[in-house]
Amino acid sequence: MVFNTGAALLDAIVLAVVSKDGEGTYGYKITQDVRSAIELSESTLYPVLRRLQKEECLEVYDLAIDGRNRRYYKITEKGRVQLNLYKGEWGSYSQKISRIFEEAG
């Protein structure tokens, strides 16, 4: 993709992906789901997850799977509020950009 992804958009995408599963989801699956929309490396994702956890938008828990601990991320109520704010802002932003492209000669 030729467009850079800013931190706010990346946060919004990660919150949206994590919110799809009420019980939470793990890092590798989050990476795969985000990659369906934008290019993203795991080394980029984990700092985003840590920041969202620090901001209390995500909670974290470990679950033993096949004898190994897997870290799960679950959206919090504060995270849902932030996601709804992002969704509203994105709607307005994307409409304005689309209008400019449609009006271009």
pTM for the model: 0.89
Q: Give domain status of residue 1, yes or no.
A: no
The total number of structural domains that make up the chain: 1
Q: Give domain status of residue 2, yes or no.
A: no
Supply the pLDDT for residue 1.
Answer: 62
Residue 27's CATH number: 1.10.10.10
Q: Which residues of 34-43 are buried (b: 16+ CB within 10 A; e: fewer)?
A: beeeeebeee
For 52-98, what is each residue's pLDDT tens digit? 999 999 999 999 888 899 999 999 999 999 999 999 999 999 999 99
For 1-44, what is each residue's pLDDT tens digit? 667 778 899 999 999 999 999 899 999 999 999 999 898 888 88
The residue range of the domain holding 60 is 7-103
| Residue indicated by tokens 């409409």 | 95
Q: Which residues contact 49 (CB under 8 A, 6 or more apart)?
A: 14, 27, 30, 58, 73
| Rounded CA separation 71/25 (Å) | 8
